[in-house]
Structure 1
Amino acid sequence: MTALGLYGRDISDLLGPQGPRRQPLQGFDDLYVDIVDYIIRCTHRIWEEKDIGLITTHYGADCPIHLMSGEVAGVDGVIAGTLKTLNSFPDRTLVGEAVIWSGNETAGYHSSHRITSHATHLGDGEFGPPTGRQVCFTTIADCLCRENRIIEEWLVRDNAKIARDLGLCAKTLGQAQATLSPAARLGIADWRQRHMDDILSQNMPAFSTPTFPNPADKPEEFAHLVFAQIWNLRRLARVREVYAPHAHWAGPDARYLFGHGEISGWIGALLSMSQGARIRVDHVGAVQEGPYTDIAVRWSLAGRHDSTGLYGSATGVPLYILAVSHWRTLDGVIVDETTIFDEIALWHQLSGGS
């Protein structure tokens, strides 16, 4: 057997007894029967049961956490970040929408966990003093897991949607963060520049018109071609070949788009802010969920804000975006997409913050 997905399963089923182990999980606690069970159950135990100390047995001692706003390393940083979030949103509930995984117990399991959270702003934190307002937002956590521990994590959260729900402005918050003292931003600019240099050093794909494979058969090739053709070569017309006419798209700040025109329009608008922007596909995972093939793509964009576009007038500053896209495909095309990145961190960059 292999891991059971989330498709059509209620939370009571997910958290109930799971029976015998369904997947090889060398070094994992006996409680977990497959990688999906591990991700869902330990997330629930840490966040909703508030067993924060469990992080010490579920994260590697030096685990790096990659965010668009910088990096955190080690168990202590994870615990501190969790406590800070729970101080601001103590009643946070997390609903797992998807766990798209790849790998094995030897190389490590790589999961991409999409979560919708509901919470009330009841404490001080990065969004200011408590407002008592309720928020609803999407997070995607990509985790590399081995022997019961997350040894590396890439985290993207729709912080702009949190700001909107609190009556705040993502742009204003990003600009405020950019005014922090240099000591508070120490190392972030160098870290970001290293990522950007690596992305911009890759060769652009040669102009060609390959046929997109069926994502059910070759999900990784499909994902790489989508970003090479539509994004890096700016062939927005090919959106019609990989998205269903009725495709739904959800993105940062709770944007909702429908169909070829709106989806290709958003991609063009994002690319319009940087003439030389390049996109790199960093990881692809895929699982079968009923009749669908679900694909998780973690990707990065690097460039310079040298053109007026989606995020206002050109500022000339370097740009870096860390994003994760979840695609649900059926009959060879994408029918639903969720793409998340941190727009507050992007406005921070556009405001000249390191």
Structure 2
Amino acid sequence: MRRQDTADDSYPAFLREVAETLWTRRRLDAGLRELCHPQLLHRQALAMGYGPEALRADALELLATLPDLAAHTEDVMHCGGVRTGSLGAQRLLLQGTHAGGGVFGAASGKRLRFRMMSEVYAKDRRISEIWAVRDTGAILRQLGCDGPDWARQRARLPVGGDGPFRPALDQPGPYTGGGNGSQWGMAFAALLERIMAAGFSEIPAQYDPAARMAYPGGVLAEGPAGAERFWFALRAALPDARFVIHHRIGAETRLMPPRAALRWSLTGRHLGWGAFGAPTGAEVHVMGLSHAEFGPDGLRREWTLYDEAAVWMQIHGGVALPDAAAPMPEVMAAQ
């Protein structure tokens, strides 16, 4: 008879420690090698990377331009166990001063706030797979940069590798799970599947009238109308794209509301007007991560993130921008 695995209740603390090691203590040498498997798969929306070196390069790029960067873990939800390893969905709020030149241009001295969301799989305290999305759009908006133009220039860099993450670049890893069987994860997954199947009437039915949402670009929204604007614009831009939920976690934790975390993707052609301006026909892959909290009146808080810059790179990489680029929404600092 197969022995039942035991949940690793210390895994959220481990991921908080990883964030401290990487972003606060900046232990990018031996500390990073101790935490990461040599064959780490680092699926970051802007690029596919391998080994601890990929995670180090990503951190160095950000720390060079934001030398006082501080990261705070807002939440961690996890599944799995001691025997098979655990996967945690982590949400970070990062703050720093744009005091160094680098990937975001010359230092401006502006204070920046943005989020990063990730799913991290580890066994025996060695990380072997990461799916990560950084809110590059929020950084660019706060710096007054044009997102599509920045993405086009980055796509033309000679050190850009194979470009943004997409299925053709993916490699199989040790984690093959789909999450846990919590009703909250299943409910959140079912809600997004209905929304992305054009069932937008589900939003006023399932969202709390006073719901608060945080979306890409540091944009904050309130109530069902705010959620509808975001999801409608995304689906309208990619009307025939295939929506897939790859992983779901539900959590009921003492002193916390019921919560859920999803990893999803949207893959297809940019055929419609919506979140990304005039249709271009470009093939696009969107890696998305969503967290939610639930209350007596439905979904009360939502955090959804995809990297707008990674999408713009796929749409406009190496080609001239169309005359009618999508206007960038008014930035609102992450809260």
TM-score, L = length of structure 2: 0.84
Asked whether the 8 Å contact 1:295–1:326 carries over to 2, the reply is yes
Please state how far the C-alpha of 1:82 moved relative to its aligned partner.
Answer: 1.9
Give, in whole Å, the separation in 1 of the partners of 2:269 and 2:246. 20
Evaluate the alpha carbon distance shift between residue 78 and residue 240 of structure 1 in structure 2; reply closer, same or farther with a 3 A threshold: same
Structure 2 residue corresponding to 1:301, chosen from 266, 272, 285: 266
Structure 2 residue corresponding to 1:237, chosen from 192, 201, 209: 201
Structure 2 residue corresponding to 1:194, chosen from 168, 172, 185: 168
The residue number in structure 2 matching 1:277 is 241
Please state how far the C-alpha of 1:195 moved relative to its aligned partner.
Answer: 7.3
Give, in whole Å, the separation in 2 of the partners of 1:193 and 1:326. 23
Please state how far the C-alpha of 1:193 moved relative to its aligned partner.
Answer: 5.1
Structure 2 residue corresponding to 1:40, chosen from 16, 19, 26: 16
Give, in whole Å, the separation in 1 of the partners of 2:238 and 2:59. 35
1:89 paired to 2:66:
yes
Asked whether the 8 Å contact 1:317–1:352 carries over to 2, the reply is no
1:334 paired to 2:299:
yes
1:348 paired to 2:329:
no
The residue number in structure 2 matching 1:113 is 90
Which of the pair has more CA radius of gyration? Answer: 1
Asked whether the 8 Å contact 2:65–2:100 carries over to 1, the reply is yes
Give, in whole Å, the separation in 2 of the partners of 1:259 and 1:81. 35
Asked whether the 8 Å contact 1:174–1:347 carries over to 2, the reply is yes
Asked whether the 8 Å contact 2:154–2:160 carries over to 1, the reply is no
Evaluate the alpha carbon distance shift between residue 300 and residue 24 of structure 1 in structure 2; reply closer, same or farther with a 3 A threshold: closer
Give, in whole Å, the separation in 2 of the partners of 1:147 and 1:217. 24
1:134 paired to 2:106:
no
Give, as a single letter, the amino acid of the residue that structure 2 aligns with 1:34: S
Number of corresponding residues:
303
Q: CA RMSD in A?
A: 2.3
Asked whether the 8 Å contact 1:160–1:169 carries over to 2, the reply is no
% identity of equivalent residues: 23
Q: Which consecutive unaligned segments of at least 5 residues does structure 2 have?
A: 1-5, 171-180, 320-335
1:80 paired to 2:57:
yes
1:66 paired to 2:53:
no
Please state how far the C-alpha of 1:129 moved relative to its aligned partner.
Answer: 2.5
Give, in whole Å, the separation in 1 of the partners of 2:225 and 2:207. 11
Structure with higher RCO (Cα < 8 A, 6+ apart): 2
Give, as a single letter, the amino acid of the residue that structure 2 aligns with 1:283: H
Give, in whole Å, the separation in 1 of the partners of 2:105 and 2:130. 26
Give, in whole Å, the separation in 1 of the partners of 2:108 and 2:194. 45
Secondary structure of 1:194's counterpart equals helix
